[in-house]
């Protein structure tokens, strides 16, 4: 735009007229832009679920060995209620970024990447399993053997229960996937119930005809052990056989996104490069849809326990898992 002298300076009529003509020749000359009536794109940002964790319940008295999850934890039992989790940032938290682009928030006209997809999320264990040992210790058939209907899960050394951790992460994961267009179903609706059995958890995914299913857990290993791992099914001459290959693809996508998004290392004590293939888990053996388990880390390791108790870090876990599922489905 031509420079117009500020107020207080002498301006001739001809100079002023010239300036006005030049301004009218193009809106850009006056610093404007044409208005075509369309709004600019909505700003995108990380889509996360509620930060408030479900009610925390203690790991119960039944032995958690034989759990339909990771390695048995003989020290998982506790009758003390879990302490309040930290809501600040862990001092030793590793900065990490996600591989996937987070879609625009609700209300955006952007096409949602998971529209038409069905995802089943299985939050491991349940907060009141410890109250009904006869129910969760009932033996069920997982095709390769019989095992307990469910277990109490593990806990951090100061009492933050795995069931509370998996419930909070799973609710946030559900919200993120739904914001991206997916239809999402949880295998339990609260953290104050008992079960369901591992056989029913598999059946929920099968009935939903899920495009992907993921069971969220945290391990209870030795204090020096650390890192996460993904568990995938093996062929057993059973219903899971047709989806074993797709389950491995899902597992690899989740592993990549989880490592990138959380900064947590591969497990130092189970599997190879954070991948473990098993035929003893009912949740996998009985699945007819692509399904994996994620052991997010070791709750008995002090450094990882601090991260799991941190609400912001649990958000990162949920977002990382969502990105892994999305990478597989798209």
- The CATH number of residue 269's host domain is 3.40.630.40
- Exposed, middle or buried by CB within 10 Å (0-12, 13-18, 19+), for 75? middle
> Taking phi first (over 0 means left), then psi (-120 to 50 degrees means alpha), and beta for anything else, what does residue 227 get?
left
Looking at the fold, whether 163 and 311 belong to one and the same domain comes out as yes
- Please report whether residue 105 resides in a domain: no
- Please report whether residue 173 resides in a domain: yes
Residue 21 has pLDDT above 70, yes or no: no
- Please report whether residue 66 resides in a domain: no
Mean pLDDT of 34-45: 36
Mean pLDDT of 72-81: 37
Residue 18 has pLDDT above 90, yes or no: no
Looking at the fold, whether 10 and 150 belong to one and the same domain comes out as no
Looking at the fold, whether 150 and 293 belong to one and the same domain comes out as yes
| pLDDT band at residue 108 under the 50/70/90 scheme | low
Residue 84 has pLDDT above 50, yes or no: no
Measure the N-to-C terminal CA separation of the chain; round to a whole number of Å: 48
Which tops the pLDDT comparison, 78 or 151?
A: 151
Looking at the fold, whether 6 and 142 belong to one and the same domain comes out as no
Looking at the fold, whether 149 and 255 belong to one and the same domain comes out as yes
Looking at the fold, whether 18 and 128 belong to one and the same domain comes out as no
Looking at the fold, whether 157 and 290 belong to one and the same domain comes out as yes
Looking at the fold, whether 15 and 152 belong to one and the same domain comes out as no
- Please report whether residue 48 resides in a domain: no
Residue 77 preceded by cis peptide, ω within 30:
no
The candidate with the shortest Cα–Cα distance to 166, out of 314, 322, 31, 16, is 314
Looking at the fold, whether 151 and 299 belong to one and the same domain comes out as yes
Residue 262 has pLDDT above 60, yes or no: yes
Residue 90 has pLDDT above 50, yes or no: no
Q: In whole angstroms, what is the distance from residue 94 CA to residue 325 CA? A: 22
Q: In whole angstroms, what is the distance from residue 76 CA to residue 61 CA? A: 9
- Please report whether residue 257 resides in a domain: yes
Looking at the fold, whether 150 and 273 belong to one and the same domain comes out as yes
- Range in 48-52, 231-235, 319-323 the model is least confident about: 48-52
- Please report whether residue 301 resides in a domain: yes
Domain hosting residue 221, numbered range: 118-329
**Going edge to edge, which strands form the sheet with 183-186?**
183-186, 118-123, 212-219, 291-298, 229-233, 275-278
Residue 57 has pLDDT above 60, yes or no: no
What values do phi and psi take at 90, rounded to 5?
Answer: -60, 140
Mean pLDDT of 200-211: 98
- Please report whether residue 220 resides in a domain: yes
User: Strand, coil or helix: what is 45?
Assistant: coil
Residue 22 has pLDDT above 50, yes or no: no
- Please report whether residue 319 resides in a domain: yes
User: Strand, coil or helix: what is 66?
Assistant: coil
Domain count, the chain: 2
Mean pLDDT of the chain: 79
Which tops the pLDDT comparison, 182 or 21?
A: 182
Question: Which pLDDT score is estimated for 110?
Answer: 78
Q: How many C-beta neighbours within 10 Å does residue 56 have?
A: 22
Looking at the fold, whether 324 and 180 belong to one and the same domain comes out as yes
Using a pLDDT cut of 70, give the percent of the chain over it. 67
């Amino acid at each position: 735009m031509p420079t117009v002298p500020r107020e207080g300076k002498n301006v001739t009529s001809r100079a002023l007229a010239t300036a006005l003509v030049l301004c009218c020749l193009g809106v850009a000359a006056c610093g404007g832009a044409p208005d075509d009536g369309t709004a600019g794109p909505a700003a995108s940002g990380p889509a996360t679920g509620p930060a408030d964790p479900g009610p925390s319940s203690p790991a119960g008295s039944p032995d958690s060995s034989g759990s339909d999850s990771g390695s048995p934890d003989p020290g998982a039992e506790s009758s003390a209620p879990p302490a309040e989790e930290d809501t600040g940032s862990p001092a030793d938290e590793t900065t990490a970024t996600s591989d996937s682009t987070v879609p625009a928030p609700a209300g955006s006209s952007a096409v949602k990447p998971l529209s038409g997809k069905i995802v089943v999320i299985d939050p491991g264990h349940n907060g009141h399993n410890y109250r009904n040992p006869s129910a969760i210790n009932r033996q069920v058939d997982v095709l390769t053997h019989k095992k307990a209907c469910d277990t109490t899960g593990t806990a951090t050394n100061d009492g933050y229960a795995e069931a509370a951790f998996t419930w909070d992460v799973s609710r946030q994961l559900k919200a993120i996937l739904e914001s991206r267009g997916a239809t999402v179903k949880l295998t339990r609706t609260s953290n104050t119930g008992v079960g369901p059995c591992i056989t029913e958890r598999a059946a929920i995914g099968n009935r939903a005809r899920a495009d992907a299913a993921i069971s969220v857990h945290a391990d209870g290993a030795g204090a020096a052990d650390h890192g996460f791992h993904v568990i995938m099914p093996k062929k057993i001459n059973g219903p899971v056989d047709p989806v074993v290959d797709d389950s491995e693809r899902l597992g690899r996508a989740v592993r990549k996104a989880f490592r990138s998004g959380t900064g947590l290392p591969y497990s130092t004590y189970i599997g190879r490069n954070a991948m473990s293939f098993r035929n003893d888990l009912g949740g996998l053996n009985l699945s007819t849809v692509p399904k994996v388990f994620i052991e997010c880390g070791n709750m008995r390791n002090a450094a990882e326990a601090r991260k799991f108790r941190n609400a912001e870090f649990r958000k990162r876990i949920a977002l990382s898992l969502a990105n892994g599922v999305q990478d597989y489905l798209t």
